[in-house]
Copies of this chain bind each other. A is one copy, B any other.
Amino acid sequence: MKEHPADSLPFFRSRWVPAPPHVRELGLQAGLPQGFRAAGVAAGIKPSGNPDVGLLVCDADDPVSAARFTSSGTLAAPVLVTRERCRLQSLRVVLANSGCANAATGGRGLDDAAKTQGAAAMATAVDPAEVALASTGAISHLLPVELVLKGLLEARTQLSREGDSAFQQAIQTTDAFEKRANLEVTLPSGVVRLSAQCKGAGMISPRFATLLCFVETDAVLTPETAELLLGVCVKRSFDRASVDGQLSTNDTAILMCSGASGVVVESESEDELRLGEALDALLRALAIMMVADGEGARRIARVLVRGGHADGVEAVARAVANSPLVKAALHGGDPNWGRIVQAVGAAMPGTAPLAVDISIEGVQVCSGGAAIPHDEEALAQAVQRDEVEYEIVLPGEGAETEVFFSDLSHEYVTINADYTT
């Protein structure tokens, strides 16, 4: 993959997610936490010849893990196999590929996935139920099993703690830059490591994951704590990001814990709180990076919605984030906030007249449903920024949510009008 300007930026670069004080960035060369090895190779699945098979292994005696998957009704075979046949609390291996989603492939797809799961188990000397599968790429194509197996055998010989970069490259599709981090987290009981490799640039949306994300830590966690932390942090990160409102068939997020640091994170302890904060910042920063790398994206935005009830703020935030009119205006750096009014109204049918307040980058433009005088110069400049914030206040109090989203660009159309051809 070509060097991208974003690759030289700090990981915590969005104003929306500052680094917690007890979290230190170690840089992209720092390698995986102790107890993990990874590799990525080019097996020929992608016509481009780019890396397309990744292998991630946890060498701990008693690994602990947790996983989350897309809620799609048309789940890809690797998701079905992993969700139904794996011991999700004690995964040891991830076999991932790009270039083929193995989705809409029926019984044959399940068989193909099972074959690669068995082969990975054999190659790494673990039980098949300890091998998670993850695929991404075009839907409806059969998995080229021979190529995956070839890649698996080659990757096995290249496993190393520094393999996270190659692994990351092997799971990428239309991503323009790396979504990867190596962090050091200082807990009251000691110092632990946290790493993540993540892909996602389109078909990114509502209702959870919508991406592949693998997180490794050398902290000692119980399965219950791993489950809790991943669940909460996914809800606050990937679940709040949308590039195009499209839910993928393959979304998978896995947290693996080697325990190699010996630092024990007890349930409901200060350690758990601090590790949770670090994981939260990690996944939120990754979610924002995905949005910033949304197919064709030039600007990203956060819509914050406050108001009377949870369903209302959720519907409004989604409607704004997924409105092609709002997204095109964001792309154009256009202060046309009438599209926000439209999206709010569409999300709250039958409530007119609705006393909605709207501010953009702190400039209030709408009060009680009506336009108010504002500094148009300041607004015009604000919407030209790389990160634009919309704040919407509905009647009532108590509920609040946010969604991060990208703009709608010519490049999005180009990328998606010509993807298979």
Within 8 A of B (CB), among A74-105: 74-75, 79-80, 101, 103-105
- Chain B's nearest CB lies how many Å from the CB of A338? 3
Within 8 A of B (CB), among A26-82: 71-75, 79-80
- Chain B's nearest CB lies how many Å from the CB of A353? 6
Closest to A383 in B: B421
Q: Are B413 and A346 in contact (CB under 8 A)?
A: no
Q: Are B419 and A408 in contact (CB under 8 A)?
A: no
Interface pick from A6-14, A218-226, A362-370? A362-370
Residue A139 is within 8 A (CB to CB) of chain B in the complex? yes
CA separation between A109 and B366, bound complex, in Å?
Answer: 13
- If A140-B371, A325-B244, A366-B104 touch, whether A342 touches B416 (CB-CB below 8 Å) is no
Residue A150 is within 8 A (CB to CB) of chain B in the complex? no
Which residue, A72, A343, A369, has most C-beta atoms of chain B within 10 A?
Answer: A72
- Size class of A's contact patch? 35 or more
Which residue, A139, A324, A344, A349, has most C-beta atoms of chain B within 10 A?
Answer: A324
- If A104-B366, A370-B104 touch, whether A73 touches B349 (CB-CB below 8 Å) is yes
Within 8 A of B (CB), among A92-146: 101, 103-109, 138-142
CA separation between A331 and B412, bound complex, in Å?
Answer: 12
Chain A, residues 317-336, CB within 8 Å of chain B (1/0): the string is 00000011100110110111
Residue A382 is within 8 A (CB to CB) of chain B in the complex? no
Q: Are B80 and A248 in contact (CB under 8 A)?
A: no
**A335 to chain B: which residues have CB within 8 Å?**
420-421
Q: Are A338 and B72 in contact (CB under 8 A)?
A: no
Residue A385 is within 8 A (CB to CB) of chain B in the complex? no
Closest to A330 in B: B417
Residue A347 is within 8 A (CB to CB) of chain B in the complex? yes
Closest to A141 in B: B371
**A153 to chain B: which residues have CB within 8 Å?**
none
Within 8 A of B (CB), among A296-325: 323-325
Chain A, residues 135-168, CB within 8 Å of chain B (1/0): the string is 0001111100000000000000000000000000
CA separation between A334 and B324, bound complex, in Å?
Answer: 21
Q: Are B247 and A345 in contact (CB under 8 A)?
A: yes
Chain A, residues 199-226, CB within 8 Å of chain B (1/0): the string is 0001101010000000000000000000
**A343 to chain B: which residues have CB within 8 Å?**
246
Q: Are A329 and B419 in contact (CB under 8 A)?
A: yes
Q: Are A73 and B344 in contact (CB under 8 A)?
A: yes
Closest to A106 in B: B370
Q: Are A349 and B417 in contact (CB under 8 A)?
A: no
Residue A173 is within 8 A (CB to CB) of chain B in the complex? no
Which residue, A101, A139, A344, has most C-beta atoms of chain B within 10 A?
Answer: A139
Residue A191 is within 8 A (CB to CB) of chain B in the complex? no
Q: Are B324 and A416 in contact (CB under 8 A)?
A: yes
Q: Can you report 24 residue pairs joining A to B where beta carbons are below 8 Å apart?
A: A72-B346, A73-B349, A73-B350, A73-B354, A74-B342, A74-B345, A74-B348, A75-B352, A80-B353, A101-B338, A103-B341, A106-B370, A138-B338, A140-B337, A140-B365, A244-B325, A246-B323, A246-B343, A247-B345, A328-B417, A332-B417, A334-B421, A408-B417, A410-B414
Q: Which residues from chain A sit less than 8 Å from chain B, CB to CB?
A: 71-75, 79-80, 101, 103-109, 138-142, 202-203, 205, 207, 244-249, 323-325, 328-329, 331-332, 334-339, 341-354, 356, 365-366, 368-371, 408-410, 412-421
